[in-house]
Amino acid sequence: MAALYACTKCHQRFPFEALSQGQQLCKECRIAHPMVKCTYCRTEFQQESKTNTICKKCAQNVKLYGTPKPCQYCNIIAAFIGNKCQRCTNSEKKYGPPYSCEQCKQQCAFDRKDDRKKVDGKLLCWLCTLSYKRVLQKTREQRKHLSSSSRAGHHEKEQYSRLSSGSHFNSFSPDLALDSPGTDHFVIIAQLKEEVATLKKMLHQKDQMILEKEKKITELKADLQYQESQMRAKMNQMEKTHKEVTEQLQAKNRELLKQAAALSKGKKPEKSGAMTSP
């Protein structure tokens, strides 16, 4: 009887082939708790529920620091403190300022000064490195599927020997040496899908930033209109008060002029009487 192994989630026992690599999950647990990307830091994590879209680390950071901002280097919305995400901050401290990624052309690739850690000799950022590794993984799975029969295995050896002797081998790593023209198409399609997915995510992030800026502009415009209306009301009130005070002063001035005229008329008869008396 074949040995059975426990699923790390439901703890039921299954044959080793029925469990996933790495996580050791059964088929039902893989469906119920798929591996998804965090909305913020873009790392993969096991989803506990369909509403759970961010990893535990980012959820804790949201409670501590609030909603993150886009990183000034990689543009991933994971800058909880300052303008850089923790990944770029640590890489900058360790490897120095970032360089342009050879895939996405963003200034977010860090040179580790070790050609062995480069991806096929290319200097890639973190997101592009993950995409490249996923393409390699899918290629290996396709190769494994194609080599299930002896004929496919023999064809794989011939194809690999032709690729290793040609110039195409120099531009790709041995892991990317493909089995057949169909596999060539598969890798190209997978790469294009990864690029499209990355561009869609970047576009979504840009749209979110534009929406936030438009919201801020609308709030500023509303605040400016309110301040202008308050200023106009205040100026109208001051103008009205000034007009009333001016009218009161003018009326008082006219009254004083009348009194002065009456006093001057009363003094003239007294002077004439004083001049006629012996």
Residues 225-255: pLDDT tens digits? 888 888 999 999 999 999 999 999 999 999 9
Query: pLDDT at position 54, please?
Result: 86
pLDDT at position 49 is 76
Note the pLDDT of residue 187.
59
CB contact at 8 A, 123 and 99: yes
Q: 154: part of which helix (H) or strand (E)? A: helix 150-165
What's residue 242's pLDDT? 93
Q: Give the whole-angstrom CA distance, residue 173 versus residue 177.
A: 7
Weakly modelled stretches of the chain, pLDDT under 70: 1-2, 22, 115-117, 145-188, 190, 267-278
pLDDT at 118: 72
